[in-house]
């Protein structure tokens, strides 16, 4: 009976980790388990899922956000030096940094990043444009 209970617990936890857990069991509970055991397990798994939601979990695909944005900037022929642009993402906040030659480039890059992310249907919190335009001595 101990092995059966362990297998059951592992299956429930696997469902929770892969996102298939919605608050209800996807696997029928074996009859050998008491209702108390079922309730306790449900509370433990639900607390784990709630904790992941509370602390961000995998709410934003930061790697994909940065990758899509960087690709868009790199492939735009109107950007004078795409290698000087760095795009990062942390908790859905996409940050664009580096130096551009003209203010129009700064605005264009932010638009490219926003378009690339929304076209792919990726969720994000905000875009922070930290691109700098050097002052010309005059």
What would the two tokens of residue 72 be? 């868009």
Contact by Cβ (8 Å): 4, 33: no
Kindly state the greatest CA–CA separation across the chain. Answer: 84
Q: Specify whether the CB–CB gap between 57 and 118 falls below 8 A.
A: no
Burial class (CB in 10 A: 0-12, 13-18, 19+), 130: exposed
Residues 136, 138: Cα–Cα separation, whole Å: 6
Residue-level pLDDT at 67: 96
Closest CA to 52 of 5, 13, 89: 13
E strands, 13-125, are: 85-90, 93-99
Q: What is the pLDDT of residue 136?
A: 75
pLDDT number for residue 135: 86
Among 83, 86, 63, residue whose Cα is nearest residue 75: 83
Nearest residue to 12 (alpha-carbon basis) of 33, 30, 27: 27
Hey, what domains does the chain have and what are their CATH numbers? 2-54 (no CATH), 62-132 (3.30.1340.30)
Distance CA 24, CA 77 (A): 51
Q: What is the pLDDT along the chain (138 residues), one digit of tens a residue?
A: 456 666 665 565 555 444 433 444 444 444 454 444 444 444 444 444 444 444 545 589 999 999 999 999 999 999 999 999 999 999 999 999 999 999 999 999 999 999 999 999 999 999 999 999 998 765
């Amino acid at each position: 009976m101990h092995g059966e209970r362990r297998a059951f617990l592992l299956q429930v936890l696997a469902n929770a980790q892969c996102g298939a857990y919605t608050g209800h069991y996807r696997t029928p509970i074996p009859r050998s388990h008491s209702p108390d055991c079922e309730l306790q397990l449900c509370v433990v798994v639900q607390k784990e899922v709630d904790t992941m939601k509370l602390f961000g979990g995998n709410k934003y695909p930061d790697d994909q956000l940065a990758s899509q944005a960087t690709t868009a900037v790199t492939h735009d022929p109107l950007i004078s030096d795409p290698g000087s642009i760095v795009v990062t993402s942390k908790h859905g906040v996409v940050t664009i940094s580096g130096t551009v030659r003209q203010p129009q480039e700064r605005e264009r890059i932010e638009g490219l990043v926003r378009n690339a992310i929304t076209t792919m249907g990726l969720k994000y919190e905000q875009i922070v444009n930290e691109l700098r335009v050097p002052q010309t001595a005059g």
